[in-house]
Structure 1
Amino acid sequence: SKAIQSNNITLGALSVVDGLYRYNIHFDSQLLNREDIENVYINHEGRLVQLKDLCRVEEKLASRVGLVRHDGKNAVTMAVIKQNDAQMEDLQKSIGALVEDLRKEYPDISFDLTRDQTRLLTYSIDNLGQNLYVGAVLACLVLFLFMKDWRLPLLIIITIPLTLIVTLLSFHLLGISLNIISLSGLILGVGMIVDNSIIVIDNVMQRWRQGMPLADALVKGTNEVFTPMLSSVLTTCSVFVPLIFLSGIAGALFYDQAMGVTIALFASLFVAVLVIPVYFMVLYRKRKTCPEGEVLDRKFHFNFYTPYECGVKWVLRNPVKSVTAFCLAIPAIFLIYKGLEKERLPYMEHNDALMKIDWNAGISVEENDARVGDVLKQVDGMVQTSTAMVGVQDFVLSHTEDLTTSEAVVYFQAEDGETLRQAQEKMRNYMAERYPRGTVEFGVSGNIFDLIFSNDDADLEIRLQRQGGGRPDVHEARAFLDTLSRRFPEIAVQPVVSERNIQYVADTEQMAVYHVSYAALQARLRMLVSQNEVYAINEGARSLPVIIGERGMDSRRLLQYTVRNDEGVDIPLSYLIRETQGEDFKRLYSGNGGDYYPVKITANDRTVESIVDFTERFVKADPRYSASFTGNYYSSRKMIGELVLVLSVAVALLYFILAAQFESIVQPLVILSEIVIDVFWVFLVLWLLGESLNIMSMIGIVVMSGIIINDSILKVDTMNRLRREGMPLVTAIWRGGHSRLRPIVMTSLTTILAILPFLSRGDMGSALQYPLSLTLIVGMVAGTLVSLFFIPLVYYLIYRKRG
């Protein structure tokens, strides 16, 4: 070792002067290849010999510790990660061009693009955009259905492009990009941006129909509804403000959604107040009378108002039944809430997945590769493509967790979600039957949505510890898992991941007797196991290590060798080292409470609660152990708790805004009372459909709370105005309901139909939008009925003694 290092020298340049000239002198003695090392001279007991006379110098392939196979073929994998300031479209074009160039330059090598998240995002955004157009068209159809004159729907329809132009311009000025979150804000807004125009036009038409000149009808009709419209926009936007203060990345992302809705609604308000009256005047300035004649009004009255009148009469005549149903809805909300499955993320259909395998045995990478191949053979015909990373991976910037030679990560893609589930079950059963000591875990392939919102936590993670701190040993952990498996046979409990190892314990007393230092002992052991790297020969981008060691060393013969002590005497290693064998955990885990062993479990809420109860009783019965709990079961409840707080803050903001508008502390309670009924129906539908309560459905409830009260604000404001004009209470309720029936139904239908196309789960964007859309649609349907029938009842009960 010393001879090789002393002959591998590179000195800096020396400078000498010869008359008028200066010369640089280089002194190099580098070992650049195998022949250079063989020709190194050594003075051995007075004799000058070369290294090749004493040992064999070989250049051979290093032992392989990892490999990659794509569809069974040897491969090299590369991960391309987009920077924050890069455009996704530019990345797509660049990657496509790069792959084509590589295929042309290296025709003998196959280049495949897998796990393309840009394609998924592009498809999701395109699909959301298409649904946005469909929703806008459906909203326009509602306008033509209710308004027979073609000019009226045209007036309202022009609100959509004008509002979207202002919104997109504001996005550009504020630096908000078009993404899944901001698009969902526009989706929520597209059904509402026509609401203000509908209200303005309907009120203008009522004034014009009463005989008022067109110019006066435009001014008075717009002024009358401006205040309740402004209040409606403020209440809708106010519910988004608390969403921005959600913890973590969710709060930062929903800033885009909040800004999308807020800008769209304020833009639609200004368009309805400033632009629509102008175009109304342009289209109808030649007409002297209202285009909606008495025949049309009677026809609409006969078809539409009759069931409404019957409903209002029944509610006013049966107040006890209605109020009792309202009171029962409050405890029902809490009962259904407890029965709802709670999770952090909505369910998303996947046709690809990641499988992590740990064979839980000290096997070579070649054996690992063969076993992974056997597992994938079980799903031939079910899996379209697969990429297996077997053993240690040498990424410059790793995007996966570190693997050992006995571990593997496999990405595979199936035709659809059902085929994927069948393939996972088949591979899991094969592993359990053929390799019961191995562990296999399946997870999502890591799309952008999962990477942002999700984490690697299991539904439940039990952190098992010894009482007072420290982790249990392997046998104790295995005994607990066996007990858990017998108690809950329906769940998959992964076996303890451990490794057997050989321990060499140095005898310090013997080392002192034979004058052997730790440094000498370590150096000899490193050489015997061929880990004594002297230096590396660099050839361009390749680095070739030079190692001094024994060839084909077997651990059973290791202690038969000797080590030279300080006095030059060879001492047998068996005199100095004692060999033991043991079993230990492959990975060590530690937290604030000290070291622990994690038990990760995938199960539904009820099973998780049962497991937690069982574990608490287990550690209570055995004082040697203690346990703590974490996982998605707890993080999802934390997120739901935050959103419940957000809903509470939103309702408080709504109350203060309404109190300022109506100058009353009672009337806001009349309007906000409908939120209770709407939340009950949303919870009930979610429970009946088997949907979970997650971040998106809860945000849907928060947003719904700001939208559904808009109709009630308009109705209560109209009833207040009629009572101020001297109209009796019942007459004001009756006339207010009649005059606002059509705009309430129209605005509700436009909002519902604009969201209706998103009741699908065909891609990531739609899966993200589905629970929010479902919540909004159910809430809007219930809210419309409550606004039409229940709000007049509450208004009547509060003011009946005042006349």
Structure 2
Amino acid sequence: MKITAFSIKRPITILMAIITVIMFGFVSFFKLNVDMLPSFNLPMIMVSTSYPGAGPQEVESILSSPFESALLTTSNVKNVNSISSEGSSMIMLEFEDKTDMDFASMEVREKIDMVKGMLPDEVSNPMIMKMNPNMMPIMQIGISMKGKDLSSLSSWANDTLVPSLERVEGVAKVDLNGSRYQEIKVIINPDKLSSFGINPSQLAQLIASENINVPGGTIKEGDFNILVRTSNSFKSIRDIRKIRIPTPTGDVIKLKDVAKIKLGSDKSSGVVKINGEDSLLLSIQKESGSNTTKVSKGVNKALDDLMSTNKNLKVNSVFDQAEFINLSLNAVKTNAIIGAVLSILVLLVFLKDLKTTIIMAISIPISIIATFVSMYFSDMTLNMISLGGLALGIGMLVDNSIVVIENIYRLKKLGLSSYDAAIQGTKEVASAITASTLTSVSVFLPILFVDGIAATIFKEMALTVTYSLVCSLIVAFTLVPLLASRLITDDAFNKENKVIEKIKDKYFFVLKWSLENRKYIALVLVLSLLFGGLSLTQVGFEFFPTADQGIIYVDVTSPKGTNIDVVEKTLTNVSKKIGAIPEVETTASLVSDSESNSSIMLVLKNKKERKKSDSEVSDEIRNKLGNISGCKINVHSASSMMSMSPSSSPITISVSGYEFDTLEKISNDIIKKVKGVDGAVDIKLADEKNAQEIRVNINKEKAAKYGVTSQMVSQAIKQQLQSSKVSSFSVEGKNYDVNIYANEAKSSTLSDLLNINIFTQTNEKIELKKIATLERNEGYHSINRTNQVRTMTINANVKDKSLGKVVSDIEKSIKDYKLPNGYSISFGGEVKQMNESFSNLLLALVLAVALVYMVMAAQFESLLNPFIIMFTVPLAFVGAVLSLFILNIPISMPAMIGFVILTGIIVNNGIVLVDLINRLRLEGKPTNAAILIAGPTRLQPILMTSLTTILGLLPMTLGIGEGAEIQLPLAITVSGGLIFSTILTLVVIPVVYSFLDDTKNKLYSRFGKN
């Protein structure tokens, strides 16, 4: 080969080229972004609209329904889901994969604009947002400060802390939870106010009119234009107290005469406690494409700088994704290094020659370093999948070098010079090792037909393995023959390995017996396939392995309408109970501003410092909590990192139809059945009828008699029950809202509601009870719809079973349930994603098998030889399934990718064996004689290449280190399949070859063909 001859003639040139690649490789390595998993785009858009004061059914009919009708006509839209709750509508659009989301966003905006003009004035402008994985926080930090209450701390955090962190490179947004916003409370005395003939609406307008700062134009004075501004803005709370209010009788009173004015704060952004201490919680989001670990370092440095100037500032790192990423990636790097060392030791044990081992092993570091250059220019990141691809390929990187060096030495023994042997030896095997590499990488071509998350994972793995194998092929054509021509001695392969020789002798007799007793080998083959198929029915399935990140979430749902103080007290008690668990390091509780929903985030100690896994701690929490005061508890670990499901539960069952009562009955029936399924836990209906409401029924005749309209009634009730912002002002850079309250306690009784005064157009007042009655109802606090059909959702978690097994059992339990006409049941969440991804990967697997066959057919120029070699594929699959079954590991997306990769790897042993058998037969050897010579001859290289790959994967197979759960299914699949298939290949392939050759000869003789 010209490239080989050039390499041997120009060693300095090759050396400089290698140094250049290494230099660029290191630069690329340090410039690559670091993340847990590959970045991926969510083909989803959210439309959020608020309608203050409107109930769920009103929101459904006025907002969600017309929006859905318009949005369903959007190009490439798959599903339109909506949630109509009190005062807000949220619509989620799911698009086909590979949709141009920028164009889709524009089209959604056009559809919304078509409907917007028909909406009530109170409806906010719809907010359209493309969903992005980067919306999830990469860090959560609790802060408190000695000597400052939460109001002062909130002010400091908003003015100083948040801007400082948002200036850190890579930070997109900083959210602040638990803050107390200072406000000016104007708490009116309804009796005093009405005694002066003034209603709340008039008072609100008057306060707003007394706080103005409006430009009035310009005047000309000489050569200058001077701005004229009308300014009468509030400077202090005293200015508000002194506001003069004219009464209908002509008197003038001050605001303080009819209202109490004071500085206060509100829990409008929730209540946060870190380890039981009142705190603020910072959630840090990173910019798309930024380096998670660098962002984390930048944020921590900014916090250190602030702590150095604020000695009383206390910072508690609740969650830092970078810590888990660093631990996980370091574990993968360590495993890769150990795997490389083990692979090199295999070479040394077999060859017993240090120089030859070094020449072969040099392929590993150079190929890996060169791969980093390709990764950088492919805009990839260093993550669990890409590094896993490198770790997977480590043992395979020496395969080409082994073949090249072995052939070079063979020619040296025939008398060729080192120079000629290196060139000729490389040339002879060039097509073989190229074809072998092609079979290994051709399995990745089906990625073109794979969509969604499966494509993202598959692509990262495919590119890293392909880059590294292509680099190893180039090294085998250049550096290896160069070094071999100068370093390999004549006795490099003469050192007898007694163990290998004994194995060869034993193998010879086994092979001879097998050829003489082909029916028994056929029986073993059939039994293996049957046993593998049986094992497949017993292996569980899951979407993506959940790594033990040491984080557990406890969601506490209180009955709708529960007072925020009651929710806070409940959450404090729950935190104390679970905070006492030895494995728990930090508890962070958050009572959201929706009051009924709250959650606790538990951060566990490092894996090495605790005896229990996150799932075991979750079970302990469930046992400790049970049922708490009517609250619903949902305990779950950090959800699968590739899950796009909006639910935190892996199983969601949607019941679709039109009537609420029927939907609820069906849902409750399904829940009873699901509770009987082993492995299903935390089963609950997400849309229960638990929202208490009071319906005001207006007597229209009585209302008309007093000149009162429904809008007047609605406005009066709203003023009584809700605060309303009437103005705002700024003092020394701090902004204050001025809010009117009709009730200082912010709560009213039914009696208070009935006694509300409604002011007529003539400013007369009439009590509500004279024109209306009150009716207590229990309604739904949210209404869910999918493609314009109402749905109720049942959520469930999985315990001690695989996701696929639990779902299969649930399907069996409900298959005989008779649904009314117009109603249906469907599974969503991770189950839906798993089915879609597995369908894609199954197609990829079928195409991979076909491609491998076609590559081998082209190599051998034969249809029969590739067919013989393809028997290794089902054997490998049997070994992989048996390994997963024995180790109780479910088949997941990484395992499916492992099956695809295994297809390309496993045929190489068969290629080596069949190729030599064919050559010996061309030299005149009978079939069985050729087999008995080829088998023992190729035993050593087959064992070497298989063992280097298997031992290269050993650290991953043992599941060592943080995040190992992600790599484990892939490593088990590949190594298990390789071990089983290698053992049987050495016997089955020769037997199949012999049988098919005899069959071919019989057919030829029957039809008179030579």
TM-score scaled by length of structure 2 = 0.73
2:188 corresponding residue in structure 1: none
Distance in 2 of aligned mates of 1:592 and 1:684: 43
Match of 2:665 among 476, 482, 490: 476
Report SS of the residue matched to 1:617. Answer: coil
- Range moving further from structure 2, 757-766 or 780-789: 757-766
2:727 corresponding residue in structure 1: 535
Distance in 2 of aligned mates of 1:501 and 1:355: 28
Match of 2:785 among 590, 602, 627: 590
**1:367 equivalent in alignment to 2:566:** yes
Distance in 1 of aligned mates of 2:501 and 2:210: 107
1:203, distance to aligned residue in structure 2 (A): 2.2
Report SS of the residue matched to 2:314. Answer: coil
Report SS of the residue matched to 1:12. Answer: strand
1:703, distance to aligned residue in structure 2 (A): 0.6
1:688, distance to aligned residue in structure 2 (A): 2.0
**Structure 2 unaligned blocks of 5 or more:** 1-202, 1002-1010
CA contact (8 A) 2:909 2:982 kept: yes
1:512 corresponding residue in structure 2: 704
CA contact (8 A) 2:247 2:253 kept: no
1:390 corresponding residue in structure 2: 591
CA contact (8 A) 2:548 2:614 kept: no
**1:112 equivalent in alignment to 2:306:** no
CA contact (8 A) 2:707 2:760 kept: yes
**1:771 equivalent in alignment to 2:972:** no
**1:630 equivalent in alignment to 2:828:** yes
Report SS of the residue matched to 1:409. Answer: strand
Match of 2:651 among 460, 479, 484: 460
Distance in 1 of aligned mates of 2:500 and 2:623: 66
2:359 corresponding residue in structure 1: 155
Distance in 1 of aligned mates of 2:674 and 2:935: 62
Distance in 1 of aligned mates of 2:785 and 2:707: 40
1:715, distance to aligned residue in structure 2 (A): 1.5
Report SS of the residue matched to 2:595. Answer: coil
**1:250 equivalent in alignment to 2:454:** yes
**1:617 equivalent in alignment to 2:810:** no
Correspondence list, 1:650-689, <5 A: 650-689=848-887
2:242 corresponding residue in structure 1: 39
Correspondence list, 1:324-335, <5 A: 324-335=523-534
1:213, distance to aligned residue in structure 2 (A): 4.7
Distance in 1 of aligned mates of 2:821 and 2:375: 60
1:481, distance to aligned residue in structure 2 (A): 6.2
CA contact (8 A) 1:9 1:30 kept: yes
2:911 corresponding residue in structure 1: 713
2:956 corresponding residue in structure 1: 758
1:399 corresponding residue in structure 2: none
CA contact (8 A) 2:564 2:596 kept: yes
Could you say what the CA RMSD is over the residues aligned between the two structures, in angstroms?
Answer: 2.7
- Range moving further from structure 2, 39-48 or 382-391: 39-48
Write the letter of the residue equivalent to 1:351: G
CA contact (8 A) 1:209 1:290 kept: no
Which structure: greater strand fraction? Answer: 2
- Range moving further from structure 2, 10-19 or 123-132: 10-19
2:604 corresponding residue in structure 1: 414
Q: What's the CA shift string for 1:143-179, capped at 9, x where partnerless?
A: 1111123221122122223322332233333333332
Distance in 1 of aligned mates of 2:947 and 2:940: 11
Correspondence list, 1:233-272, <5 A: 233-243=437-447, 245-272=449-476
2:208 corresponding residue in structure 1: 5
Distance in 2 of aligned mates of 1:490 and 1:240: 36
1:322 corresponding residue in structure 2: 521
Write the letter of the residue equivalent to 1:34: I
- Range moving further from structure 2, 318-327 or 625-634: 625-634
Distance in 2 of aligned mates of 1:245 and 1:764: 32
**1:56 equivalent in alignment to 2:255:** no
Distance in 2 of aligned mates of 1:194 and 1:702: 21
Distance in 1 of aligned mates of 2:961 and 2:361: 29
Distance in 2 of aligned mates of 1:223 and 1:255: 32
Write the letter of the residue equivalent to 2:896: M
1:474, distance to aligned residue in structure 2 (A): 8.9
Match of 2:758 among 538, 558, 563: 563
Distance in 2 of aligned mates of 1:495 and 1:290: 75
**1:445 equivalent in alignment to 2:638:** yes
Q: CA 1:464–1:182 in structure 2 vs 1: closer, same or farther (change >3 Å)?
A: closer
Q: What's the CA shift string for 1:536-592, capped at 9, x where partnerless?
A: 334434332331524446232221232122244322211322211111223321112
Write the letter of the residue equivalent to 2:250: R
Distance in 1 of aligned mates of 2:499 and 2:588: 64
1:216, distance to aligned residue in structure 2 (A): 4.4
Match of 2:330 among 123, 126, 147: 126
- Range moving further from structure 2, 423-432 or 87-96: 423-432
Distance in 1 of aligned mates of 2:224 and 2:994: 112
Report SS of the residue matched to 2:315. Answer: coil
1:77 corresponding residue in structure 2: 281
**Structure 1 unaligned blocks of 5 or more:** 393-403
Q: How many residues align?
A: 781
Distance in 2 of aligned mates of 1:548 and 1:114: 37
CA contact (8 A) 2:869 2:911 kept: yes
Q: CA 1:662–1:698 in structure 2 vs 1: closer, same or farther (change >3 Å)?
A: same
1:332, distance to aligned residue in structure 2 (A): 4.1
Write the letter of the residue equivalent to 1:618: Y
CA contact (8 A) 1:737 1:788 kept: yes
Write the letter of the residue equivalent to 1:775: T
1:398 corresponding residue in structure 2: none
Q: What's the CA shift string for 1:296-323, capped at 9, x where partnerless?
A: 4484664231121122112111111212
- Range moving further from structure 2, 313-322 or 793-802: 793-802
**1:229 equivalent in alignment to 2:433:** yes
Distance in 1 of aligned mates of 2:660 and 2:828: 17
- Range moving further from structure 2, 31-40 or 18-27: 18-27
Write the letter of the residue equivalent to 1:428: R
**1:726 equivalent in alignment to 2:924:** yes
Q: CA 1:452–1:608 in structure 2 vs 1: closer, same or farther (change >3 Å)?
A: closer
**1:434 equivalent in alignment to 2:628:** yes
2:63 corresponding residue in structure 1: none
Q: What's the CA shift string for 1:58-117, capped at 9, x where partnerless?
A: 214244342100010011111112223323342232122112112222222211112111
**1:139 equivalent in alignment to 2:139:** no
1:625, distance to aligned residue in structure 2 (A): 5.7
2:692 corresponding residue in structure 1: 500
Q: What's the CA shift string for 1:26-73, capped at 9, x where partnerless?
A: 322223433223323333244331233640232142443421000100
1:780, distance to aligned residue in structure 2 (A): 1.3
- Range moving further from structure 2, 122-131 or 61-70: 61-70
CA contact (8 A) 1:537 1:546 kept: no
CA contact (8 A) 1:363 1:406 kept: yes
Q: CA 1:356–1:705 in structure 2 vs 1: closer, same or farther (change >3 Å)?
A: same
Distance in 2 of aligned mates of 1:298 and 1:17: 105
Q: What's the CA shift string for 1:347-398, capped at 9, x where partnerless?
A: 5334221111102253222221111111122231422111111121xxxxxx
CA contact (8 A) 2:324 2:549 kept: no
Write the letter of the residue equivalent to 1:38: R
CA contact (8 A) 2:653 2:828 kept: yes
**1:425 equivalent in alignment to 2:583:** no
Identical positions, percent? 25
Distance in 2 of aligned mates of 1:62 and 1:219: 83
Q: CA 1:798–1:220 in structure 2 vs 1: closer, same or farther (change >3 Å)?
A: farther
Match of 2:219 among 16, 28, 31: 16
1:426, distance to aligned residue in structure 2 (A): 4.2
2:715 corresponding residue in structure 1: 523
